[in-house]
Copies of this chain bind each other. A is one copy, B any other.
């Protein structure tokens, strides 16, 4: 017997609303700030190394990212960077946190249809307060039965979410832009995964290639195609 899908998990950043574009903008300003010292490629490479070294300790989110930016700037300039320039990095951080939430096209109407037929969970990783603020600002929180903010999207983290919500993994379908965080761990548990790539993928979230031969794996170009795909899955006409 197969369990019917009852619950749809949705990632938030770059799945429901734009996020990576803010980081892209920040990176541009950051490279400009350090352009007297190094070319953009070097700045990007060293910043990414610092971020990866700090990830275990600082976690995901704007505040940890900002601390990594400050550290990298000090080290790349051998301490020559001015306090005023560091203040500008913190100001960028504040602007990112204060930025309005911009939904991807079609999100609202897709949720409006799905929330009548499925339990919707918002499953996001990163800084608890940042994520709660974005959810509150998004205006779409009411479509979700509730929100799970996890510190990392591992197999164990998804297993805990499913257990806490009494969902069998076959009843669960996860939608997100990151193969590594949204799709692969859920497929591992026996759930369904719908990958919708965003225009930009953070290097850390890159995995080699989508598991196209996996029965429960699907890929779409836009969230607006999601209702049709789910209809096809539910009716057993695997697309």
Interface positions of A (Cβ within 8 A of B): 57-59, 63-64, 66-67, 70-71, 73-74, 77, 79-84, 86-87, 90, 93-94, 97-98, 127-130, 132, 146, 149-151, 164
Contact = CB atoms under 8 A, between A and B. Distances in A.
- Summarize A's interface: helix, strand, loop or mixed: helix
A236 B5 CA distance: 49
24 contacts: A57-B97, A58-B63, A59-B127, A59-B130, A63-B64, A63-B67, A66-B67, A67-B67, A67-B93, A71-B87, A74-B84, A74-B87, A79-B82, A79-B84, A79-B87, A80-B83, A81-B83, A82-B83, A127-B128, A128-B128, A128-B149, A128-B150, A129-B151, A146-B164
Contacts of A150: 128
Pairs of residues from A and B, 5 with the lowest C-beta to C-beta distance, nearest first = A59-B129, A63-B63, A79-B83, A128-B128, A129-B151
A142 to B, nearest CB: 15
A146 B64 CA distance: 26
Given A79-B84, A146-B164, 4 more contacts: A71-B90, A74-B84, A80-B83, A127-B127
Contacts of A86: 70, 74, 83, 86
Contacts of A83: 73-74, 77, 79-83, 86
A90 B151 CA distance: 22
B128 A59 contact: yes
